[in-house]
Structure 1
Amino acid sequence: MTKIAAPAVSNRHPDARPQAAGTTPWAIKGELILNCNCTVFCPCVVSLGKHAPTEGYCQAWSGIRIDSGHYGDTDLSGLNVGLLLEIPGLMARGNWKAAAFIDDRADQNAYLALIEIFSGRAKGTTGLFKLLVSEFLGAERAAITYETEGKTRRLMVGKKIQGEVVPVQGKDPDRDIVATNTEYWMGSDITVATANKGRVRAFGRVWDFDGRSAEICQIDWSGPEVAR
């Protein structure tokens, strides 16, 4: 796993005219899983950040499976991304710390595109990262595996993130417990889940969130303006 600083350079052809940040059309569809240190389902989903995390602060890892996606003419389909997030209190107050792991199968154009998207510089759905993240800890290329087995989702980022989340079982075991029609930034329907495993050993962080809150969400993100 090679650590690479997130470069603030263009991935456009040298002969192309410069393009201002946040003007390239992009879109991602796929699935996101997240596991945090909250002891019960994350209150941020329904309070939209107006209620503090259950421990007063948030530490979380997340995995994104991109089923289809693009950044301008760069294809992002089939790639995976891992994230680390630290939020000291209420989400909206900012001062977040974040780090990204980019699928090592991504070519240079796709790598740079995903940095633009997940740093918030590409605007659109993930634009809040640019507003709320005060310290970007770095980006690394990594072997990232995102697996689905039945209702179980697993994320492996080398030895740095080992996660497994499952939906919390309801009265009808065939139906997931879902918070629907929310205004949560990730997506309107969030499946209530828990982590069978949530281990992080990265960027000086040593986290063990087994048994803690988790989320599963189908994502349909875009920016800055994409015709649907």
Structure 2
Amino acid sequence: MPFDELGTVPWTIKGELILNCNCTVFCPCVVSLGKHPPTEGHCQAWAGVRIDEGQYGDADLSGLNVGLMLEIPGLMARGNWKAAAYIDERASDEAYEALVNIFSGKARGTTGLFSLLVSEFLGAERAPVVFETEGKARRLMVGKKIQGEVVPVEGKGGEDIVVTNTEYWMGPDITVATATKGRVRAFGRVWDFDGRSAEICQIDWHGPR
């Protein structure tokens, strides 16, 4: 994609996102929109995206998965994030480039804030990114680099607890979850977030506006 076209290409992604971070209880960023610090004062997280339907210009993104690693030193809104992306090895060259543009924020739109908040993009690479659903459990596996599983937290009557109608950037309705496994071994990071905060969100993202 020629550089002068970045940020002008229409794109859409519909699917599901799961995230597990080091917060000991449910991540306060969902409600405070980044105005409240993470429970541990800083944020370390992995995330997985399952794309059910998606396109970037003429490139078809449907059926692909993406893994992310995020590190935020304090309040989300203050920036200085570090991020890395793992792109499904099944992606065509065109789809790979499209997903890097989207998840680095260069494609603008829903993920455009990444270009403002991420001070260090550690890189993007192709990897075997597997996103599985079994019952209510969701699993993300990126080789040996990310091994995660999250499950919803049950509320009254066994129904999932859902925070609805938020202004959270990922989507308005966030299912409260916890990680039964949250292991990251990448870019010198060794994280284990079993039992920590997790989120499940149906996503409907688009750009460049």
Normalising by the smaller structure, the TM-score range is over 0.9
Residue 224 (1) aligns with residue 182 (2): no
Give the aligned partner of residue 204 of structure 1.
188
User: Deviations 1:51-85 (Å, cap 9, x if unpaired)?
Assistant: 00000000000000000000000000000000000
Give the aligned partner of residue 188 of structure 1.
172
Distance in 1, Cα, partners of 2:124 & 2:189: 15
Distance in 2, Cα, partners of 1:169 & 1:218: 18
Distance in 1, Cα, partners of 2:155 & 2:165: 19
Distance in 1, Cα, partners of 2:128 & 2:195: 25
Supply the RMSD in Å over aligned alpha carbons.
0.9
Q: Which of 118, 122, 125 is the matching residue for 1:137?
A: 122
**CA apart distance, 1:147:** 0.4
**CA apart distance, 1:19:** 4.4
Aligned length: 209
Task: Give SS of 2:5's match.
Answer: coil
Q: Which of 142, 147, 159 is the matching residue for 1:162?
A: 147
Distance in 2, Cα, partners of 1:124 & 1:139: 20
Where do residues 78-157 of structure 1 align in structure 2 (5 Å cutoff)?
78-157=63-142
Percent of paired sites with the same residue: 80
Q: Find the structure with the greater CA-based Rg.
A: 1
TM-score by length of 1: 0.90
Give the aligned partner of residue 21 of structure 1.
6
Structure 2: which 5+ runs fail to align? none
Distance in 2, Cα, partners of 1:142 & 1:95: 26
Distance in 1, Cα, partners of 2:111 & 2:129: 21
**CA apart distance, 1:206:** 0.3
Structure 1: which 5+ runs fail to align? 1-9, 13-17
After TM superposition, which residue ranges in structure 1, 4 or more long, deviate above 6 angstroms?
A: none
Distance in 2, Cα, partners of 1:144 & 1:97: 20
Q: Which of 14, 17, 20 is the matching residue for 1:35?
A: 20
Task: Give SS of 1:82's match.
Answer: strand
User: Deviations 1:124-167 (Å, cap 9, x if unpaired)?
Assistant: 00000000000011111000110001100000000100000000
**CA apart distance, 1:20:** 2.5
TM-score by length of 2: 0.98
Where do residues 169-180 of structure 1 align in structure 2 (5 Å cutoff)?
169-173=154-158, 175-180=159-164
